[in-house]
Chain A
């Protein structure tokens, strides 16, 4: 219901109810549903319409919506201020002792400021007896050990006193907290901590509470220190535990300056009996009066402990956070094709985080306080809410046509993904609802939070993120505009950069992003302001600084409020300094009693010692040499200050939890009540101290390592620093390793090239190891003298045409050359004459040399093949209209004498010196078995050759040819045994593939045939001037017509000669569509009775083959069409110069999907039943999921090999490389095998690749053809 209201609100707010949507919307969602629709479809349409309107709204008013969203986020987060800061320190609550009663369990209203943990009895009541003992007056006859030996000895009598105290038949035994065994892991502390009895801890535990053991202990310090941990310790040590005061202030040290020993006897009571405690207090005070002590005794402190986070608990927590960050990283990495990737990623993260905060805030607003540990469930909440929707939205919006208006793009993107978003949302809600019915309280709470979080996340996605996305996309268009303007103003076009290194001058083609400027004023005025704000933020790094400052403040607050932290430290400092400040006042004794129970913060300096000396700290010299000296000895003074009221505050805040944890009692989420401390002052006479001496005590020389404690502290510091450094280095190393493992070398093309080329370049390593010889051995079909230009196949036969115009027909099974159809006397010479014939190597035809050098009478047909500007031009767009019009003068002649040149690297190029090449080639040629050059018979037309390895002899019969030989073959098709060849002069020739004879020739058109399609008995020819001619091939023999096969393709039968040479074949022009396209046709494909043409005018047209009627004109590309795929199942895909790939429905002419995948032209396209494979000028092969349009993965190809691509079966992909072809598993993108075509590592790039029916592939390899049979291993994969 909130969604409905949301949609309603949106639709009411939207002022463009009657906006013409239906014309623009790709999925044809109309506002008025057709009458017969299921509920589901109607719902779907309604949802998508609502989303559409919402997208329009968001993109139209970005600023108000963002403001509104921020305001609502802040409002929802406001209740969070009441929640305590996250931290693990204990919290306190103080009550009076007098009217104390055990708090009840019930949850009756709030009684004042009583915290909600203050319920029920505490774990224990802690009664501490703080003992300060000193030997006074100090005597020069005393040794340092005397400082603490006899004061410590008095603990046993005190213990006895406490144990034996009885008040109205209540003894300590009945009241105290009874403990059982220690934890099993603590065997070594068994003798030190009480077991099976009262939890009563005192320094006497070192000696098992036995006086005789204490007396016989020769070295008290050693006993005390032997249990201290050696390494670093953060929690309470045993000394802290037993003494109950911080280790330094115990005074148990040989170098104590004050000579006052301080320790506590800690009693844990299970139940509170006020009278017993009071009587104990009175008794102790009476026995050991500390007259000047005025500690407050009326407050009881309850300390509540939060859940402990130890190292063992931290590891899972840290793990979940690492996983969370990895999830966020991998999610946001997918954001692509937007202006600011990081900005959008940040917006996505902000969306999720603020939705979480909103959910917590809302829950606490409605009285549902979070009891779960926020830090622990947070990652799971993020994962449950997820970033998916945001990414899907981005992707969908980005995939909309760029030439639309921003508003419409956003709206279309939203509406096309609306159904899946709603479905996901409903599914998640249902899952969470199921979780709610598990009836486990924790899970229920989690689910509640997750539900609120999901809803608020949806809200934020719809309002916040969509708006941010619209701003981003608008910025992108603006940036494109800015980039394009100078280019139009005559500036050189931007450098293509390293992406397109093989295309020296980038063709001037329309920018992929067309801009529709609706309101220029609006954009020019408002957007720069917004941009300026963003840039300002980016320049000053405001966000980072705010975050840093916030972190520092937070840490500061934590440190200050921490019980073991700064506040207590400061308080202690203040109270320590104050006696010094008051030390100047002589009448201490007079002042003190005036404030007997006064202000607790005021410090009372009490000097109980008989010989009070002023400024004792400055003069006390406890060191050995000072003792022997004549310096006046100071007697220790026992002072009671406010810091003594709560001694436990000076201990680690883990003191109580660790004490109780030894008995497997947890204090997490529970509390203890600490009763006011009982002060006990002990004054011992020197005689007593001397009497209790152990014989060895006097032998204690002052140790040489006088500064052990300071040294220890220093060492600790260093250790911490070293450990931190070490951990940091280790972390960096670990992350580096993780990075290396997870991201193996697929960034950019350098690594790939290196990897693959190394294998090619180094056939042998130093161990004499050569790469594994592949079981696939390519069959090289030699015979062409120049680079292969056209390839055509029909199952059994294979026709190829080289630059020299020679057509060869091969047996696709055996690789034998069946027929050679030579071209005659053509001599190649570019208009500038930069490629000249050299006399030295062509002695046989000097006449032609002269002929060609004279030039003007050279017969003409433009051959774009070897144009210097396009040494590696694309096969799919054979012509550049600006460069090659119908200009007869440019015609070069191709000398068939090239046939004499052994196949070698014939790199065409201006100023290329052929001499070296030829000489080298001759040397190589001499080394190899000499090729015979038989004088060819004059009747060249009828010549048949089956020796494919032989070169063609120079055909001297050129001039005898009755037809126009001088034009080159631009396109070729092979069906049955008919070769259809389209020439640059506009002639269409039909050759017999077996006989090698010309069967028919049609000269109806004059413009060059750029593409041919041969289907059934029809030939479709696309011409350079954009016209499309439909020819019918008639065979005047009924049998041949009958035998003419149906649709070609995979299912075709092996071709058999369907007509004999006696048949008369005629080829008639049935229809000529003069202006099929405004610009030259670049691609022509025919299948399933349809002819599809793609042109440079950005459109794709679909014609019916039978009546040559144009069915559809498909618009949607923002650049010329460069690749088209259509097959028997009427799948039509097209790729354009803008790098976009469109899938079309051939029956309805509607666009099914539209993705951007390449930077640069799409050079070839293949579809399988489940994926679409595309390759582009950026040498990237992308594999897309056909149904969803999601990119599955991509393969980086080598430079120049991007276009060669073929699919053998559903799961086997073949790509060409530098002198090799690679086989890939299509499902996994798994490189199965690489087959090297030549022996030498440096191979020409494989630019054309054709898959034959018998699971073989044929590819061009320079002037050779390579036939590769895919072995049985691979066929098993089918």
Chain B
């Protein structure tokens, strides 16, 4: 920081000498000094806030959750594509990354938001989540979530109703097994509704298209997947909140 300031000083001084206006040069220099001090104070504040334990923890947790979200989104997207394309030519991966590159970041952001929201909501409601607070349970939860996706992608159901009911039962089972909190249920439900709504809006506005021609099929499993995803990410977020603060 001091080095940068020096350079600015010398720079403004040189311009001042060039223009041969000593007074204005000093004015410029003083102004620059003020600006620099303002900038340094702003930077310092940012640094302070970054240094502060809580916000640093928050950022780290957010980053981890973002990574988890991106990763899960990629994996699940691949799973869903498999349902529609039987065998991959090598180009599918390219098209995957070219056509819908924005999906994984979106999912990552959503995961970060939901995962940070869960512990926050817990602490605001004053009922800390204590049910099965351990990493093994979280891993189990993720595995079940991927399994639900796998089932929805790989299995052939007789009709959409059956698919929806099965997935709904599985999602509720996931919540009951790993969460069992009212806030978790509510937040998961909200996530599911919001995400489905956003997806519908995207589809209606032709921003995004389903690969499957049958639209109703997708509509039948999307909310369940989003619900269980919300619960899963919330589980991760809570565990992270506990883990990161256990200095």
Q: Once the chains are docked, how many angstroms separate the CA of A744 from the CA of B59?
A: 14
Q: Once the chains are docked, how many angstroms separate the CA of A1185 from the CA of B133?
A: 11
B residues near A320, Cβ cutoff 8 Å: 143, 146-147, 150
A387 touches B246 (CB 8 A): no
- Known A312-B88, A380-B147, A666-B86; contact A327-B247, beta-carbon cutoff 8 A: no
> Is B1 part of the contact surface with A, judged by Cβ < 8 Å?
yes
B173 touches A431 (CB 8 A): yes
A residues near B1, Cβ cutoff 8 Å: 767
A327 touches B130 (CB 8 A): no
Q: Which residue of B lies closest to A382 (CB)?
A: B143
- Known A316-B78, A1228-B119; contact A1193-B242, beta-carbon cutoff 8 A: yes
A residues near B155, Cβ cutoff 8 Å: 440, 442-443
Q: Once the chains are docked, how many angstroms separate the CA of A1228 from the CA of B130?
A: 9
Nearest CB of B to A3, in Å: 22
B162 touches A185 (CB 8 A): no
> Is A38 part of the contact surface with B, judged by Cβ < 8 Å?
no
> Is A752 part of the contact surface with B, judged by Cβ < 8 Å?
yes
- Known A661-B89, A1185-B130; contact A323-B143, beta-carbon cutoff 8 A: yes
Taking CB atoms and an 8 Å cut-off, the chain B residues in 131-176 that contact chain A are 133-136, 138-140, 142-144, 146-147, 150-151, 154-158, 162, 165-166, 169, 173
A311 touches B93 (CB 8 A): yes
Q: Once the chains are docked, how many angstroms separate the CA of A439 from the CA of B157?
A: 9
Stretch of B46-54, B107-115, B216-224 contacting A (4+ beta carbons < 8 Å): B46-54
A330 touches B134 (CB 8 A): yes
Q: Once the chains are docked, how many angstroms separate the CA of A476 from the CA of B71?
A: 43
Nearest CB of B to A947, in Å: 39
B residues near A1211, Cβ cutoff 8 Å: 128
A residues near B130, Cβ cutoff 8 Å: 1170, 1185, 1192, 1227
Q: Once the chains are docked, how many angstroms separate the CA of A323 from the CA of B137?
A: 11
A185 touches B143 (CB 8 A): no
B140 touches A383 (CB 8 A): yes
- Known A186-B89, A442-B154; contact A387-B64, beta-carbon cutoff 8 A: no
Q: Once the chains are docked, how many angstroms separate the CA of A1227 from the CA of B130?
A: 8
> Is A741 part of the contact surface with B, judged by Cβ < 8 Å?
yes
B86 touches A668 (CB 8 A): yes
Q: Once the chains are docked, how many angstroms separate the CA of A422 from the CA of B105?
A: 44
> Is A438 part of the contact surface with B, judged by Cβ < 8 Å?
yes
Taking CB atoms and an 8 Å cut-off, the chain B residues in 28-70 that contact chain A are 44, 47-48, 51-53, 60, 64
Question: What are the interface flags for A1168-1205 relative to B under an 8 Å C-beta threshold, 1 for contact and 0 otherwise?
Answer: 00100000000000000100000011111000000000
B95 touches A185 (CB 8 A): yes
B143 touches A380 (CB 8 A): yes
Q: Which residue of A lies closest to B157 (CB)?
A: A440
A312 touches B93 (CB 8 A): yes
Nearest CB of B to A1215, in Å: 11
Taking CB atoms and an 8 Å cut-off, the chain A residues in 1021-1077 that contact chain B are none
Taking CB atoms and an 8 Å cut-off, the chain B residues in 93-134 that contact chain A are 93, 95, 119, 123, 128, 130, 133-134
B64 touches A312 (CB 8 A): no
Q: Once the chains are docked, how many angstroms separate the CA of A746 from the CA of B139?
A: 20
A residues near B44, Cβ cutoff 8 Å: 767, 769
> Is B244 part of the contact surface with A, judged by Cβ < 8 Å?
yes
> Is A350 part of the contact surface with B, judged by Cβ < 8 Å?
no
* Chain B residues within 8 Å of chain A by Cβ, number: 60
Q: Which residue of B lies closest to A187 (CB)?
A: B91
Q: Once the chains are docked, how many angstroms separate the CA of A1170 from the CA of B87?
A: 55
A323 touches B245 (CB 8 A): no
B143 touches A741 (CB 8 A): no
Contact pick for A312, options B92, B128, B135, B165, CB 8 Å: B92
Q: Once the chains are docked, how many angstroms separate the CA of A1066 from the CA of B147?
A: 76
Q: Once the chains are docked, how many angstroms separate the CA of A767 from the CA of B50?
A: 15
A residues near B143, Cβ cutoff 8 Å: 320, 323-324, 327, 379-380, 383
B residues near A312, Cβ cutoff 8 Å: 78, 81-82, 88, 92-93
B89 touches A1231 (CB 8 A): no
A1229 touches B245 (CB 8 A): yes
Q: Once the chains are docked, how many angstroms separate the CA of A171 from the CA of B135?
A: 67
Nearest CB of A to B45, in Å: 10
A383 touches B150 (CB 8 A): no
A311 touches B88 (CB 8 A): yes
A323 touches B247 (CB 8 A): no
* Chain A residues within 8 Å of chain B by Cβ, number: 65
B241 touches A752 (CB 8 A): no
A316 touches B244 (CB 8 A): no
Contact pick for B245, options A330, A383, A439, A1230, CB 8 Å: A1230
Taking CB atoms and an 8 Å cut-off, the chain A residues in 712-730 that contact chain B are none
Among B52, B134, B173, which residue has the most Cβ atoms of chain A within 10 A?
B134
Taking CB atoms and an 8 Å cut-off, the chain A residues in 825-846 that contact chain B are none
B residues near A769, Cβ cutoff 8 Å: 44, 47-48, 51
Nearest CB of B to A1079, in Å: 38
B139 touches A330 (CB 8 A): yes
Q: Once the chains are docked, how many angstroms separate the CA of A326 from the CA of B139?
A: 7
Q: Once the chains are docked, how many angstroms separate the CA of A388 from the CA of B89?
A: 42
Q: Once the chains are docked, how many angstroms separate the CA of A836 from the CA of B92?
A: 87
A residues near B154, Cβ cutoff 8 Å: 376, 442
> Is A331 part of the contact surface with B, judged by Cβ < 8 Å?
yes
B247 touches A746 (CB 8 A): yes
> Is B79 part of the contact surface with A, judged by Cβ < 8 Å?
yes
Question: What are the interface flags for A1218-1245 relative to B under an 8 Å C-beta threshold, 1 for contact and 0 otherwise?
Answer: 0000000101111100000000000000
Contact pick for A1227, options B82, B123, B247, CB 8 Å: B123
> Is B74 part of the contact surface with A, judged by Cβ < 8 Å?
yes
A residues near B157, Cβ cutoff 8 Å: 440
> Is B11 part of the contact surface with A, judged by Cβ < 8 Å?
no
Q: Once the chains are docked, how many angstroms separate the CA of A1136 from the CA of B166?
A: 53
- Known A312-B81, A746-B247, A755-B247; contact A319-B146, beta-carbon cutoff 8 A: yes
Q: Which residue of B lies closest to A1227 (CB)?
A: B128
Q: Once the chains are docked, how many angstroms separate the CA of A1195 from the CA of B246?
A: 7
Question: What are the interface flags for A327-366 relative to B under an 8 Å C-beta threshold, 1 for contact and 0 otherwise?
Answer: 1001101100000000000000000000000000000000
A residues near B166, Cβ cutoff 8 Å: 438, 440, 443
Q: Once the chains are docked, how many angstroms separate the CA of A438 from the CA of B156?
A: 12
Q: Once the chains are docked, how many angstroms separate the CA of A60 from the CA of B146?
A: 43
A1229 touches B246 (CB 8 A): yes
B162 touches A772 (CB 8 A): no
Q: Once the chains are docked, how many angstroms separate the CA of A1227 from the CA of B82?
A: 43
> Is A8 part of the contact surface with B, judged by Cβ < 8 Å?
no
> Is B203 part of the contact surface with A, judged by Cβ < 8 Å?
no
Q: Once the chains are docked, how many angstroms separate the CA of A331 from the CA of B139?
A: 9
Contact pick for A661, options B81, B86, B93, CB 8 Å: B86
Nearest CB of B to A183, in Å: 6
Nearest CB of B to A202, in Å: 22
Question: What are the interface flags for A694-724 relative to B under an 8 Å C-beta threshold, 1 for contact and 0 otherwise?
Answer: 0000000000000000000000000000000
Q: Once the chains are docked, how many angstroms separate the CA of A752 from the CA of B130?
A: 25
> Is A308 part of the contact surface with B, judged by Cβ < 8 Å?
yes
- Known A308-B87, A312-B93, A316-B78; contact A334-B134, beta-carbon cutoff 8 A: yes
> Is B75 part of the contact surface with A, judged by Cβ < 8 Å?
yes
B residues near A668, Cβ cutoff 8 Å: 86-87
Question: What are the interface flags for A1096-1119 relative to B under an 8 Å C-beta threshold, 1 for contact and 0 otherwise?
Answer: 000000000000000000000000
Q: Once the chains are docked, how many angstroms separate the CA of A796 from the CA of B157?
A: 72
Q: Once the chains are docked, how many angstroms separate the CA of A1193 from the CA of B241?
A: 13
11 contacts between A and B (CB under 8 A): A183-B89, A315-B78, A383-B143, A438-B162, A438-B165, A440-B166, A668-B87, A741-B64, A742-B243, A1211-B128, A1228-B242
Q: Spell out B's residues near A (CB within 8 Å).
A: 1, 44, 47-48, 51-53, 60, 64, 71, 74-76, 78-79, 81-82, 86-89, 91-93, 95, 119, 123, 128, 130, 133-136, 138-140, 142-144, 146-147, 150-151, 154-158, 162, 165-166, 169, 173, 241-247
Given contacts A315-B74, A431-B173, could you give 18 more A-B pairs where the C-beta distance is less than 8 Å?
A308-B87, A310-B87, A316-B146, A323-B146, A324-B139, A326-B139, A330-B134, A380-B143, A383-B143, A440-B156, A442-B154, A443-B166, A661-B89, A668-B87, A752-B247, A1195-B246, A1228-B123, A1228-B128
